[in-house]
């Protein structure tokens, strides 16, 4: 049963749940109503019977010295006291009937204890039976009133039929309504399912467009699904682009090396000049390829985000600068920074790599004695690190593209500077991973300024 319920479709589960809830609530209310009405009506019937007995005993007491014979003649008057269904009998003390008013029900047996009110079934009819001793002049007898509960029974039967009919109607209505409602609520989920099947079968080619536009939990779920799909599609196309770019970029140095080696094989073996040049170019290309592979791996690896990472930017900056100073002794580093530690929400590794990339570019793309100025300032709840150089600068039309993978400003002046076009894309990837921002300003022939903006830790 449990398994059967679990395996039902959501629509059916919903319908069954609503139907059962309404039915159980209705049954409880109907039972309470039925029992309360029954008690109240029975009470009423008992009071009526009691009142009739009181009226009759009072009537008999008022008759004074009349005989039973006279009373029998007077029976129409007594009949008026009774209702149509009630029967009154008067017995003498030996149990012999001496007087009868109305004759709706047969006589009941007389109990030992008097007065007594009992509920009995006489020939299949429920009735209240009242016995009491009466005194009519010198005659002492026993009065028996039979008050049948036919009206009460009819009313209760009517009530039961009405409740059952209303209950069945309500159940049917509840089932229909809840089925309709379940259908309405399931519609967006069915849409979602269909869209998932489409994506599974046809990938991201099929555009998702949900008709459900309500601003509720399901609407939110659909929005989240759409956003997730867009993100997946983006990262999927980026990955495809990345593989295509990488294989294209790696093909060039391999082709160059292949060309040189086959040239050497054919006629360079004995010519030292050709041999020298061929080997030198091949080694250069291999070095370029090695750097590119390292950088590609760096991009693909995407260091895992450490949410609680912090580092002192001043310390990291000094470490990177002293490393670079060894390689490029002619560079002049100027620092406009405060003395105390400035903590940034980023791992030390990532920050040092960002600084190294920016410093190296500032030094490499420079035709003068490189001067690299670092400024650290805090403003608007954030910390800004600016790295400005006196290099060759970048034309405005290239500025938006320099962060793209493999993008290199292809001008006569930069062609001789070795590079892969990956440095700034790695920098941007790291910066954005730590929820920071990087922007660039540049003036051709004067210099370039990279601005990093971090939220304060």
Which residues are at the interface with ligand ADP (CB under 6 A)?
361-362, 365, 389, 391-394, 402, 407-409, 414, 419-425, 448
Reduced to 3 states, what is the DSSP secondary structure of residue 226? helix
Nearer to ligand ADP, 131 or 428 (CB): 428
As a whole number of angstroms, the longest Cα–Cα distance in the chain is: 166
Length of the chain: 457
Contact in structure between 408 and 252 (CB atoms under 8 Å): no
Q: How far is the CB of 354 from ligand ADP (least distance, A)?
A: 11
DSSP 264: I
What is the helix (H) or strand (E) element at residue 322, kind and residue range? helix 313-327
Q: What gap in Å lies between CA 456 and CA 379, rounded to an integer? A: 9
Q: Whose CA is closest to 306, among 252, 256, 344?
A: 344
Q: What gap in Å lies between CA 63 and CA 131, rounded to an integer? A: 20
Nearer to ligand ADP, 344 or 422 (CB): 422
Record the tokens describing residue 269, joined without a space.
């073996």
Q: How far is the CB of 14 from ligand ADP (least distance, A)?
A: 56
Nearer to ligand ADP, 148 or 419 (CB): 419
Q: How far is the CB of 285 from ligand ADP (least distance, A)?
A: 15
Q: How far is the CB of 363 from ligand ADP (least distance, A)?
A: 8
Nearer to ligand ADP, 30 or 409 (CB): 409
Exposure string for 367-384, b = 16+ CB within 10 A, e = fewer: eeebbbbbebeeeeeebb
Nearer to ligand ADP, 123 or 416 (CB): 416
Q: How far is the CB of 430 from ligand ADP (least distance, A)?
A: 13
Q: How far is the CB of 440 from ligand ADP (least distance, A)?
A: 8
Nearer to ligand ADP, 268 or 421 (CB): 421
Q: What gap in Å lies between CA 189 and CA 195, rounded to an integer? A: 10
Q: Whose CA is closest to 390, among 332, 341, 347, 335?
A: 332
């Amino acid at each position: 049963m449990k398994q059967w319920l679990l395996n039902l479709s959501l629509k059916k589960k919903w319908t069954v749940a609503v139907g059962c809830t309404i039915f159980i609530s209705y049954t409880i209310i109907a039972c309470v109503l039925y029992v309360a009405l029954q008690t109240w009506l029975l009470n009423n019937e008992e009071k009526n019977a009691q009142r009739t007995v009181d009226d009759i005993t009072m009537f008999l007491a008022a008759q004074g010295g009349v005989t039973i014979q006279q009373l029998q003649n007077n029976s129409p008057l007594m009949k008026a006291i009774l209702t149509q269904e009630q029967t009154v009998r008067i017995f003498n003390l030996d149990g012999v009937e001496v007087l009868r008013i109305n004759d709706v029900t047969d006589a009941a047996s007389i109990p030992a204890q008097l007065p007594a009110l009992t509920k009995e079934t006489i020939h299949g009819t429920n009735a209240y039976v009242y016995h009491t001793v009466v005194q009519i002049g010198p005659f002492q007898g026993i009065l028996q009133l039979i008050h049948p509960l036919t009206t009460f029974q009819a009313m209760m039967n009517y009530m039961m039929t009405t409740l059952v009919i209303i209950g069945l109607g309500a159940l049917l209505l509840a089932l229909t309504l809840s089925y309709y409602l379940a259908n309405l609520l399931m519609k967006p989920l069915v849409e979602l399912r269909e869209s998932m099947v489409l994506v599974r079968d046809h990938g991201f080619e099929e555009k998702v467009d949900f008709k459900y536009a309500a601003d509720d939990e399901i609407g939110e779920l659909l929005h989240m699904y759409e956003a997730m799909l867009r993100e997946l599609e983006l990262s999927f196309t980026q990955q495809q682009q990345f593989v295509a770019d990488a294989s294209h970029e790696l093909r060039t140095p391999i082709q160059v090396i292949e060309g040189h080696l086959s040239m050497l094989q054919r006629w360079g073996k004995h010519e030292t000049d050709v041999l020298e040049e061929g080997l030198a170019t091949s080694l250069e290309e291999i070095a370029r390829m090695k750097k590119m592979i390292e950088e590609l791996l760096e991009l693909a690896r995407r260091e895992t985000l450490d949410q609680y990472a912090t580092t002192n930017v001043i310390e990291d900056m000094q470490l990177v600068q002293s490393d670079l100073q060894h390689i490029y002794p002619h560079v002049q580093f100027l620092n406009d920074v405060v003395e105390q530690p400035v903590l940034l929400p980023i791992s030390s590794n990532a920050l040092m790599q960002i600084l190294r990339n920016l410093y190296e570019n500032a030094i490499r793309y420079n035709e003068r004695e490189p001067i690299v100025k670092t400024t650290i300032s805090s403003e608007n709840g954030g910390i800004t690190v600016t790295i400005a150089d006196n290099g060759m600068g970048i034309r405005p039309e290239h500025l938006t593209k320099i962060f793209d993978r493999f993008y290199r400003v292809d001008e006569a002046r930069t062609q001789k500077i070795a590079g892969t076009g990956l440095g700034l894309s790695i920098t941007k990837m790291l910066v954005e991973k730590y929820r920071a921002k990087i922007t660039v300003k540049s003036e051709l022939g004067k210099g370039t300024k990279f601005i990093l903006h971090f939220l304060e830790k």
